[in-house]
Homo-oligomer: A and B are copies of this chain.
């Protein structure tokens, strides 16, 4: 691929400062980019690199004011990340599976597969499955009985979609994710022995959802575990039975959400966050990485931190005090001695 800087600026509605006729052949990181490459500056932590980059062009924010001399061409845009996103798609080499059904795949006679769908090698499609237009099923994918997958969804290698689950349109599910595993539900008798509670529900994933590699989402005991439209879930996230994740919420890697909890829309959950079962997290809540949320949050847009989670600033203030505790405890002891001395003097 070869494209001029002027053409790139056109694609992202940007304005050029410098040589707009130079050719670009690919993207690179700002600290590594060389001649003929395009890079970007979005996070100002990396600003120092723009003064030394060999890149032929750099995408920057409209408001960017250089502090030093620049040897590169600038393309000024409204939103650097969005511009990068749309450009990378131009550069991206498509990973495609050939249209049609690979002859090493198993597809049940009762499955309905759209003509434009692709079923990769050694995939397994069980009875009564419905697969929509332009769906791409990579090799080694398992799709259980009665699953429905809407158009333009992509399942990467080793994904397992268990029976009865429903996946919306334009979703991407990454390698080795498991959708519809049994919920973790047991009844315990007096001898401490567990007997399994059947998990007869399913998982419903709405449109435009992305699910990371090795993430697991359990089916509901009854009814549905629900992932609403536009939710983005990172790798190795665990979502238990009957959880509901609201629209456009993002969940970072290794977070876990226990059974029957409802997460509102537009929330951000940091990595390794844990949320107990049977609570509700209100719209727009932001939860700092590694926090443990133990009770419902009934105020929109809160920011939480700690285990159990407090308001973000409260936790940080308490944690600063925590780091001073050893000296403060010595001070308390010393103050007590001084009080004791004062009391003794007053007795005299």
Contact = CB atoms under 8 A, between A and B. Distances in A.
Contacts of A318: 322-326
B329 A95 contact: no
A196 B342 contact: no
Contacts of A110: none
A235 interface: yes
Given A88-B200, A194-B250, A323-B318, A256 B272 contact: yes
Contact of A194 (B45, B196, B221, B232): B232
A51 interface: no
A254 B252 contact: no
Contacts of A32: 223
Given A181-B175, A289-B276, A292-B289, A230 B163 contact: no
A8 to B, nearest CB: 15
A109 interface: no
Contact of A335 (B45, B157, B332): B332
A197 interface: yes
A16 interface: no
B290 A274 contact: yes
B198 A250 contact: no
A184 interface: yes
A197 to B, nearest CB: 4
B91 A193 contact: no
14 contacts: A28-B222, A142-B158, A144-B157, A158-B178, A172-B182, A174-B182, A184-B212, A184-B234, A216-B235, A238-B271, A274-B289, A321-B329, A322-B322, A345-B346
Nearest 3 pairs of A and B residues by beta carbon: A88-B198, A321-B325, A181-B213
